[in-house]
Amino acid sequence: MLVGLVFSCFTTGLAHADDWYPIYNEDAYTEFYTPPSPLPDVAPGELIRAEPSRLVLEPSGQLGVIQAEATRVMYRSTDGRGNPNVVTGTYFEPWAAWPGQGERPLIVYGPGTQGQGDQCAPSRQFNQGIHWSPYLDIMVNYEMGFVETLVRRGFAILMTDYEGLGTIGITHTYVNRLSQGHAMLDAARAARKLPGTSLSPDGPVAFWGYSQGGGAAASAAELALAYAPELKVVGTYAGAPPADLAELIPYADGSALVAVIGYALNSVMQTYPEAEPKIRALLTPRGVDFVDKTREQCVGESITKFMFRHLQPYFQYPLPVLLADPQFRGLLDLQRLGTLKPNAPVLLNGNRYDPLVPFGPVVQLGKDWCAHGSDIELRTNEGPPIFNKLVINHALPMVVDGEQAMAWITDRFNGVPTSPNCGQF
């Protein structure tokens, strides 16, 4: 019966898409998501524009809504080269009161991998629940469950889209350490500049993310002291962060999510355009097709069109040779996490047998931070390997360990002492 209701709502949505501006008509997003030119000369974190945003769990809205008022925002941030840019996102003002200690807390939420096309931006997905257009361009807003749970527990949230995801004219800088960390930190600043919220100007903030979001949260944690020292950061949850991109490549090879390598290469070419000719020279015609197509796709389409493909046919040279090349490897090493000290406690989490984001670099990240004197707790998901190339052991811990992560974050806002385990991993 439930399946039938969902199908009915979804097909009704397809039949009457124009009734729900601007769900399926991506052109309706153009005005808001086009960056101003020139960019306003304002400080990082300043709001550029904001407007109310529709929240639904599925296209028709008949199955309920997230228990919050939503505002779509565009704010000033900084890209991976230190240049000013703009980033979009969604602020969620909970209907529920905060039952914990002190002021209402803010969670800056880094979403997991959505894809690279503008239509994949979470701030658009919350308007739709399910995105669909012809040629298998399909995406489900899988972050909605966590957002709904958190706002029901009284947390305010600002979920960033990151650089270029949704923002017209800029390729999404997927897993770029600096641009993602800056986007998270400036999201915290922007949330407090919105009028009419329950946030105080100097209230507590935490960072949250898993997978790509885990890397973004980890980056925000270690950049906070230098980039946004005024923020009152109480903690960071970084689940399965891709701490070393060079190590990720052989894991992604042949998996259902092999397209993340296409996203990463497009990200490098956006951030370092001087490297684009060399990168394209490394690609075979199939490789060029791979990076050009993934640049416009969401995860759903990328899976259907590229799942289980091997990377070697996309490159002119053996992958080990490429990874040994100082220039190619150097671009990846720029994204390594762990060289700076977080200014607040961090909960790291990963599956020992994660088939996409290797567990070893997650452990090394914890060790590096511990060596800096950071307050780190590493938790290991011991779920056994299951159909590795389907990346089940990467996706499932996001759900399985989510409740424990929420409890840990809640404790940070309530002043509960931490339980660091440096030296035990």
Q: What is the pLDDT of residue 7?
A: 35
pLDDT value of position 136 = 85
Strand arrangement of the beta sheet that strand 84-94 belongs to: 47-53, 68-78, 84-94, 156-160, 106-110, 204-210, 232-239, 346-351, 376-381
Whether pLDDT at 33 is above 60: yes
Q: What is the mean pLDDT of residues 200-226?
A: 97
Name the β-bridge partners of 77: 85
Three-state DSSP class for 172?
Answer: coil
β-pair partners for 47: 75
Average pLDDT, whole number, for the chain? 93
Q: What is the pTM of this model?
A: 0.93
Share of the chain above pLDDT 90, in %: 87
pLDDT score, position 1: 35
Q: Flag whether pLDDT at 99 surpasses 70.
A: yes
229 Rama class: left (phi>0) / alpha (psi -120 to 50) / beta: alpha
- The answer to whether residues 236 and 188 touch, using CB atoms and an 8 Å cutoff, is no
| pLDDT-derived band at 3, boundaries 50, 70, 90 | very low
Provide the pLDDT confidence category of residue 9 given band limits of 50, 70 and 90: very low
User: Which run of H or E residues covers position 88?
Assistant: strand 84-94
- What pLDDT score does 334 carry? 93
Burial per residue of 350-387, b for 16 or more beta-carbon CB atoms within 10 angstroms, e otherwise: bbbbbbbbbbebbbbbbebbbeeebbbbbbbbebeeee
Cα separation, 262 vs 265, whole angstroms = 5
Q: What are the φ/ψ torsions at residue 369 (nearest 5 degrees)?
A: -65, -40
Compute the average pLDDT of residues 175-203: 97
Given a cut of 90, is residue 379 above it in pLDDT?
Answer: yes
Tokens linked to 109: 């939420």
Provide the CA 127 distance to its chain's centre, in angstroms: 18
User: What pLDDT is attached to residue 23?
Assistant: 43
Tokens of 335: 């994204």
pLDDT for res 337: 98
**265 is written with which tokens?**
């290469």
**What band does 16 get if pLDDT is binned at 50, 70 and 90?**
very low
Q: Is the pLDDT of residue 227 over 60?
A: yes
Residue 65 has a pLDDT of: 82
Instruction: Answer whether residue 331 shows pLDDT above 50.
Output: yes
Query: In degrees, to the nearest 5, what angle opens at C-alpha 75 toward C-alphas 154 and 243?
Result: 75
Q: In which element (H, E) is residue 376 found?
A: strand 376-381
| Of the candidate ranges 161-170, 319-328, 350-359, the one whose mean pLDDT is the lowest | 319-328
The one-letter amino acid code at 309 reads R
Task: Report the amino acid identity of residue 408.
Answer: W
Which ranges of 78-191 would DSSP assign to H, the alpha helix?
122-128, 144-152, 177-191
Residue 129 has pLDDT above 80, yes or no: yes
pLDDT for 135 beyond 50: yes
Q: Residues 11-23: what's their mean pLDDT?
A: 40
Torsion angles phi and psi, residue 229, rounded to 5: -65, -15
Q: How much is the average pLDDT of 155-163?
A: 98
Given this model, what pLDDT does residue 194 score?
98
What is the mean pLDDT of the segment spanning 119-126?
Answer: 96
**In this predicted model, what pLDDT tens digit does every residue of 257-299 receive, in sequence order?**
999 999 999 999 999 999 999 999 999 999 999 999 999 999 9
CA terminus-to-terminus distance, the chain:
48
Report all structural domains of the chain as residue ranges with CATH numbers, in order of start.
Answer: 8-244+340-413 (3.40.50.1820), 247-333 (1.10.260.130)
Q: How far apart are CA 23 and CA 80, in angstroms?
A: 31
Query: At 24, is the pLDDT very low, low, confident or very high (cuts 50, 70, 90)?
Result: low
Q: What's the mean pLDDT in 160-179?
A: 97
77 contacts 183 by C-beta, under 8 angstroms? yes
